[in-house]
Amino acid sequence: MKKISSIIIMSLLVFGVLVACGTSEESKKTNGESKEVLVLGTSADYPPFEYVDTAKSEEIIGFDIDLANAIADELGYEVQVKDIDFSGLIPALETGQVDFVLSGMTPTEERKQNVDFSDIYYTAHHMIVSKKESGIKTVEDLDGKTVGVQLASIQEGKAEEMAEQINIKIENRNRIPELIQEIKSGRFDAAIIEDTVAKGYFKNNEDIEGFILEGDDEEAGSAIAFPKESKLTDEFNRVLNELKENGELEKLIVKWFGGE
């Protein structure tokens, strides 16, 4: 009987502690002592947008990360970063694994069918990257060559357009470093990479070079992606435009890209 009574008493005590904890947590949120956490999905292989500087830490850093934190802080949120292969970012939004995506993503019409986007926050151009001394200086030089692209990227679509005009073999990989390695090893003759990102890789890989596609009027504009009908879309858009107007966005661009 004592044993049973002890069990009941212990159960009541545990229940009381749990209730007290729950009330305390709710109180913190009510009093503004803690912030709602938003999960940011990104593909951390895209310097200077998002990457890991392994020489310093395992933390994901970059332009997109700073932008996400600046917007979230203004809105009273905290950000938790989740590293996902680029091709898995939209599925992660659709299945609720992440609340928003900042990963140098271009708001194509195809993507807009599945997710919503903010306004454009940065624009860049397509670049053909190859080994130095490869002889690849123009699009025509790619005829008969193997060209790498990141899976599910806008550059993959660009390669498919080019394949209608010249004879190229398209290969895709999940991450940009894989494309660079395939070029250096000779398995790819070239790759199509966003120019801002490609220039970042040139610094640490002196044996590769690139050129921007001539006559390519299509800019690879980057926008923030959200689940369909998310309340965050309007909230983030409002702050994003405030950052454009007050010069804070330009400061981040100068910090990470060295200006235009």
Domains of the chain: 36-123+221-257 (3.40.190.10), 126-212 (3.40.190.10)
**pLDDT (average), residues 216-242:** 90
Whether the per-residue pLDDT at 22 is higher than 70: the answer is no
* Contact predicate 94/115, CB 8 Å: yes
Q: What is the dihedral of CA 215, 217, 219, 220, to 10 degrees?
A: -60
Q: What is the pTM of this model?
A: 0.80
- Which tokens go with 185? 């090893």
Closest CA to 82 of 40, 44, 49, 48: 40
Choice between 33 and 71, residue whose per-residue pLDDT is larger = 71
Choice between 68 and 32, residue whose per-residue pLDDT is larger = 68
Please state, in angstroms and rounded to a whole number, the distance separating the CA atoms of residues 85 and 63.
18
Closest CA to 83 of 57, 37, 50: 50
| pLDDT on residue 116 | 98
Please state, in angstroms and rounded to a whole number, the distance separating the CA atoms of residues 90 and 17.
40
